[in-house]
């Protein structure tokens, strides 16, 4: 993931037809071509939880809203909708993990229907995860200094102290090589037992082959990405063991070809986090999703891509670029927004911990402590996104 956004960068257009996936599927056009029908809420791929409706026995009651020709009768999953001008609303109950919502009309222009699919996060709870990108320096440090314990490295000691204080769980997203030539194959396996002993709270995952060049997977083939994925994963398994190795939730720069989603899913990837921000008039750090889904994710916790099976999550805070006095003001509004309150996706980058790094942040550890303390005090539990659905039990 990038640590700074500087200047105008090259962008790659999302594949044709992606907007149709984002907006759902109109399965039958109105007779004569002059009618129209559209479900506006919920959004196709929406991940819905108790904050989005009313919990009822065995289900979640939600409101469906959309637009239809003025005089048409509309039903939503068989429920007759209320009309107010072109707007229709109906309440339905979600009872399955995934539900197709079908709006149908019958009027003077004929019949039509529009459908979207949503996900019910049935066992949702307030939770947070902490992901750290661009890890390589601490592995080089341990390999070169041959510490007795992993936690003799100050960086891992900071993370262990935060875990002991708040029960935080961390995923460290790893490069294969540093810029000076150190490679994961050089990391010894003598710490394997210690990795496994701490695997309940500390995981390692693929991030990229190396930090540079920037956006190395934005234009790369899926085969290139998967080859690097396998190379890093092989080494993590060798020196840290299966319990420590986890599927990644962030690919470097959060920019990949959409054609890589299915191959990543086949490797166990279930969640991908990004920024989904607009830069110079274009969405970026968004895995090249279309504008409709990127805009939606810019103000929601999560969205599922049914074609691949991957759920996309929005990063809520980047600690290395958020001063201590801005951390709480950044998180507080999210906790008040039903669309962003259930999951806190916390994030930072390893290099800012190191004094030799040109953009070293002296109070980096305190920033993490401030963010983690706030979510802990507000009832958020630490999770790994790969366990259950977005870290919730299934």
Separation CA 56–CA 74 (nearest Å)? 24
Partner residues linked to 103 by β-bridges: 76, 114
Q: What is the mean pLDDT of the chain?
A: 92
Partner residues linked to 305 by β-bridges: 310
Separation CA 169–CA 295 (nearest Å)? 29
End-to-end distance of the chain based on CA atoms, in angstroms?
Answer: 29
pLDDT in tens, 108-139: 667 899 999 999 999 999 999 999 999 999 99
pLDDT in tens, 96-106: 999 999 999 98
pLDDT in tens, 303-332: 999 999 999 999 999 999 999 999 999 999
What is the structure's pLDDT at 11?
30
**Phi and psi (nearest 5°) for 162?**
-65, -35
- Count other C-beta atoms under 10 Å from residue 321's C-beta: 18
Residue range 203-232: mean pLDDT, rounded: 97
Q: Report the percentage of the chain scoring pLDDT > 70.
A: 90
Least confident of 53-67, 98-112, 143-157, 321-335: 98-112
Residue range 44-73: mean pLDDT, rounded: 96
Report the predicted TM-score, pTM, of the whole model to 2 decimal places.
Answer: 0.91
Partner residues linked to 128 by β-bridges: 344, 382
Is the bond preceding residue 376 a cis peptide, omega within 30 degrees? no
Find how far residue 43's CA is from the centre of its chain: 17
- Read off the pLDDT band of 30 (50, 70, 90): very low
Listed in sequence order, the residues at least 6 apart from 247 whose beta carbon sits closer than 8 Å to its beta carbon are 205, 267, 268, 269, 270, 386
What is the structure's pLDDT at 95?
97
Q: Which of 66, 80, 71 is nearest to 108 (CA)?
A: 71
Which tokens belong to 222? 């899926």
Separation CA 293–CA 152 (nearest Å)? 44
Q: Which domains does the chain have, with CATH numbers?
A: 35-120 (2.60.40.10), 127-382 (3.20.20.370)
Q: Which of 44, 37, 50, 38 is nearest to 94 (CA)?
A: 50
Separation CA 37–CA 88 (nearest Å)? 10
In this predicted model, which residue has the larger pLDDT, 18 or 352?
A: 352
Burial class (CB in 10 A: 0-12, 13-18, 19+), 84: exposed
Residue range 85-95: mean pLDDT, rounded: 97
Residue range 243-255: mean pLDDT, rounded: 98
Cα–Cα separations (whole angstroms), residue 217 to 65, 255, 268: 38, 6, 18
What is the structure's pLDDT at 20?
39
Question: Does the pLDDT value for residue 266 go beyond 90?
Answer: yes
* DSSP 8-class letter at 109: T
What is the structure's pLDDT at 32?
31
């Amino acid at each position: 993931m990038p640590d700074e956004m500087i200047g105008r960068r090259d962008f790659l257009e999302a594949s044709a037809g992606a907007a149709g996936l984002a907006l759902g599927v109109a399965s039958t056009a109105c007779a004569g071509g002059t009618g129209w029908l559209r479900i506006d809420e919920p959004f196709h791929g929406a991940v819905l939880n108790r904050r989005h409706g009313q919990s009822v026995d065995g289900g979640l009651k939600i409101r469906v809203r959309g637009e239809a020709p003025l005089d048409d009768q509309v039903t939503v999953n068989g429920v007759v909708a209320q009309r107010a001008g072109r707007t229709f609303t109906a309440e339905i109950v979600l009872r399955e993990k995934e539900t197709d919502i079908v709006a149908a009309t019958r009027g003077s222009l004929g019949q039509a229907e529009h459908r979207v699919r949503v996900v019910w996060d049935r066992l949702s709870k307030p939770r947070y995860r902490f992901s750290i990108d661009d890890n390589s320096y601490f592995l080089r440090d341990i390999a070169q200094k041959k510490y007795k314990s992993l936690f003799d490295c100050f960086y891992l000691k900071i993370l262990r102290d935060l875990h002991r204080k708040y029960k935080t769980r961390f995923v460290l997203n790893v490069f294969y090589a540093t810029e000076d030539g150190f490679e994961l194959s050089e990391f010894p396996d003598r710490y394997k037992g210690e990795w496994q002993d701490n695997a309940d709270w500390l995981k390692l995952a693929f991030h990229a082959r190396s930090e540079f060049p920037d956006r190395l997977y934005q234009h790369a083939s899926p085969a290139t990405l998967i080859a690097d994925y396998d190379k890093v994963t092989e080494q993590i398994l060798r020196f840290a063991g299966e319990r420590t190795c986890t599927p990644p939730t962030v690919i470097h720069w959060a920019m990949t070809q959409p054609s890589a989603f299915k191959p990543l899913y086949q490797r166990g990837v279930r969640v991908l986090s990004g920024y989904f921000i607009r830069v110079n008039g274009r969405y970026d750090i968004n895995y090249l999703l279309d504008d409709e889904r990127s805009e939606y994710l810019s103000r929601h916790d999560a969205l599922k891509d049914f074609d691949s099976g991957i759920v996309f999550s929005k990063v809520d805070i980047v600690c290395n670029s958020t001063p201590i006095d801005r951390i709480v003001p950044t998180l507080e509004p999210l906790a008040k927004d039903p669309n962003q309150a259930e999951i806190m996706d916390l994030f930072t980058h390893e290099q800012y911990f190191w004094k030799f790094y040109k953009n070293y942040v002296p109070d980096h550890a305190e920033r993490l402590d401030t963010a983690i303390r706030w979510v802990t005090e507000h009832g958020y539990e630490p999770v790994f996104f790969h366990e259950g659905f977005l870290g919730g039990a299934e």
